[in-house]
Each structure stands twice: as structure tokens, then as C-alpha cells.
Amino acid sequence: MAPLPRGPRRAPSPGRLRRTLLAALVTAAVAVPVAGAARPADVPAPAPAPVAPLASATSAELAARYTAARTAVRAAERSADAYGARKRAASLHAMAAPGRQFLSFDGRDGGRAAEVVGDLAAADRIAVLVPGADTDLDRYGRFRAGAVALHDALPGRPGARAAVVAWLGYRTPATGSTASLTPGRADQAAPALRAFVDELRRAKPGARITLLCHSYGSAVCGRAAADLPADALVLYGSPGTGSDTVADLHTRAAVWAGRGAADWIGDVPHVRLPLLPGSELGFGEDPLAAGFGARTFDAGDGGHSDYLVPGSVPLENIARIVDGREPHHA
């Protein structure tokens, strides 16, 4: 007997999809924190001395900011050492090394920092790296390594110089935690990112500023995007921005998106579902979807942490966008 013809497969109902995602959310929220008993945010640090906003990016003013931040890093190192947080103390010791250039530093609550790679006073192209999950002072080295790799990949031309800023300006969520699946941390981080870029624009009015938004950092950029004085936003390894189209970002910046072929983030459902009043799950449309409206670039075959690997396809293309040139398209 011939099998009966099958009708069109029905999409899961919104209620079923919501229950499935909520189950995954609860599982992740319970499982992930148990795996990490010692939280980096628990390491104490003194409050840094207040600093005035940059009025201009002269070498003298920048040098004063770098000196003040180094003092704050060393104070935090002493505090971490006294607390017995050896990993944190070692990381801070490296951050306080001669030649490191921090515009700001605060060792509390997991850490906040903005480090410059390159000569910001002379730069006419500035890239600001906005990190995703699992970035804090204990694991700061890999974040900085990406900034150094990008700076090294930027072309040097007569009369043109570039600087890269590694902006750790918020408490990033842990991968798979409740916070990584909802926009709460992005909502908290967006004002700080907007204030930082505003300050940078006032200090460097003629420079080209590009925000490089990795993973959860793209949700931070999405929340901060409206009227942000940036020339380009680059979303890579992105779960979404919290908006369904580029137009919804209300930005004058060119918006680019790329994803590596082996990046697991491509399997994350691109939805936004209400949870409690004022809260939601997910980050909306896939930035690579045609309906989102971003320009796309070739991000190679790598995984979620491979975008700024020296010599890689995505690093070359991201450097081209920072430089104001057309990247290679996927």
C-alpha cells in the first residue's frame, strides 16, 4: 500500500517555540553558574580616582590619562594579591607594564578598562572593540591579543595612522547564562559605550571611528547605535542586535555583518520573545539575513573566536572596513 501523501509541514506554534527556548534558558542558567564557583566579579578593588573627559587627544593629555590609569591598575593588583586572587593579580601585573596605554581603568565588578593600541594622538582611523561573553580582567589577555592583531593588520600609508581601543566597558555575561540570552546587560552597557564614543569623537573630530561588535557585544552596539557618532558598525559572530532591521538601529553608520562557517552562533534561534514585563529572550533578526539590511563580508571558515586571528580572512576584511575600504564579500 502506497504511503499517504504528506501535507505541508507546519511550523511550530509561537507558544511551543517559546516553551522550548525557555526550557533551554532555564537549563543553561542552572548549569553554567555551577561550573564556575569563583566569580571574577567578587575580587575586590579600590575605586579609581576620577578623571576629566578628554578635551583633546594631544600627546600630553593622553600621557596624563595613561599615567592615572596605570596607578589604578597597580592599586587593583595589590588588592587582588592581598585577597589571594592570584590569576587576577597576574593579569593586572601584565596590564601595568611599561608601554601599556589605558584611557580608563576600574578593577571593581569584574573590571572595566579601555586600552589603546597604537598612537591615538596621531590616528585618523580608530577601531573600538566591543567584546562579547566571558571577557573580564582574568581573561583580558585574549581580548587584547585581538586588538594587537587588528592593529598589526591595518595598512600603513604615508600620512595615515590607526589606533585600536579595546573597550571592556561593561560586565559581560557568561556564555549560556541567563544574562547571555537576554538584553539586560546590553541595556546597562549601552550608555557607557555611547558616552565613550561621544568623548572619542570630541577629542578626535576628524577621525574615522569604527565599532567592532563581537557576539553579545553586537547587542551592546545595537542598543547604543541610535545617533552614535561612528562611521561604521561591524557585527561578527552576532546573535542579533535587538532590532529587526538596520533602519531600526537609527544609525548613520554603515552596518556590516559577517559570520564564520564554523561559528556555532549561526545555530542560535533569531527570535525575540517576551518574558517578564519589560524583559525578553533573544535578539531578533539575524544580521546576515537579507531582510536585516546589513552589508555582508566574507568571514572565512573559522569558529566563534577566530575573527581576529592573525592572517585570517575575517581579520583582513575587518581591517579593510576600519580603513574605509571595501571588504571581500561572501
Which stretches of 119-161 are assigned E, i.e. beta strand? 125-130
Three cell numbers, residue 55? 578635551
C-beta separation of 327 from 320 below 8 A: yes
pLDDT in tens, 10-48: 444 545 555 455 445 533 433 333 333 447 789 999 999
Q: Which helix (H) or strand (E) holds 273?
A: strand 273-274
What mean pLDDT is predicted for residues 62-78?
98
Tell me: pLDDT of 157 over 50. yes
Measuring CA to CA, which residue among 236, 232, 292, 283 is closest to residue 259? 236
pLDDT in tens, 304-328: 999 999 999 999 999 999 999 999 9
Three cell numbers, residue 12? 511550530
What's residue 16's pLDDT? 53
pLDDT in tens, 117-127: 999 999 999 99
Using pLDDT thresholds of 50, 70 and 90, give the confidence band for residue 272.
Answer: confident
d(CA 84, CA 103): 27
d(CA 166, CA 114): 6
What's residue 32's pLDDT? 39
Three cell numbers, residue 307? 575573527
Measuring CA to CA, which residue among 103, 29, 39 is closest to residue 73? 103
d(CA 320, CA 153): 9
User: Given the C-alpha cell 502506497, which residue does it identify?
Assistant: 2
Q: What is the DSSP string of 199-256?
A: HHHHHSTTSEEEEEEETTHHHHHHHH-TT---SEEEEES-S--SSSSSGGG--SSEEE
pTM for this predicted structure: 0.89
d(CA 291, CA 170): 30
Tell me: pLDDT of 218 over 90. yes
Tell me: pLDDT of 274 over 90. no
pLDDT in tens, 97-121: 999 999 999 999 999 999 999 999 9
